Amino acid sequence: MVVPLPRVAPGTAFPPIPIQRGTRVFVLTGAGISAESGIRTFRDSGGLWEQHDIEDVATPEGFLRNPRLVWRFYSERRQQAACVAPNPAHHALARLGAFLGDDLFLCTQNVDPLHERAGSRAVHHMHGELFRTCCFECDRPSFADEKAYLEGPPPCECGALLRPDVVWFGEMPKGMDRIGEAVSACDIFLTVGSSGSVYPAAGLVSHVRNFPSAHTGRFARTIYIGLERPENAHSFDECRLGKAGELLPELFLLEE
Ligand code: NAD
Phi, psi of 195 (to 5 degrees): -70, -10
Element (H, E) at 29: strand 25-29
What does pTM read for this prediction?
Answer: 0.93
Residue pLDDT tens, the chain, 256 long:
333 444 444 445 678 999 999 999 999 999 999 999 999 887 676 556 667 888 999 999 999 999 999 999 999 999 999 999 999 999 999 999 999 999 999 999 999 999 999 999 999 999 999 999 999 999 999 999 999 999 889 999 999 999 999 999 999 999 999 999 999 999 999 999 999 999 999 999 999 999 999 889 999 999 999 999 999 999 999 999 999 999 999 999 999 7
Q: Which residues line ligand 1 (CB under 6 A)?
A: 30-32, 34-36, 39, 41-43, 49, 109-112, 127, 193-195, 197-198, 226-228, 230, 243-244
Q: How far is the CA of 255 from the centre of ligand 1 (A)?
A: 30
Alpha-carbon distance 224 to 177, whole Å?
23
Ligand 1 atom with the shortest distance to the CA of 109: 34
Whether 127 is a known active-site residue: answer yes
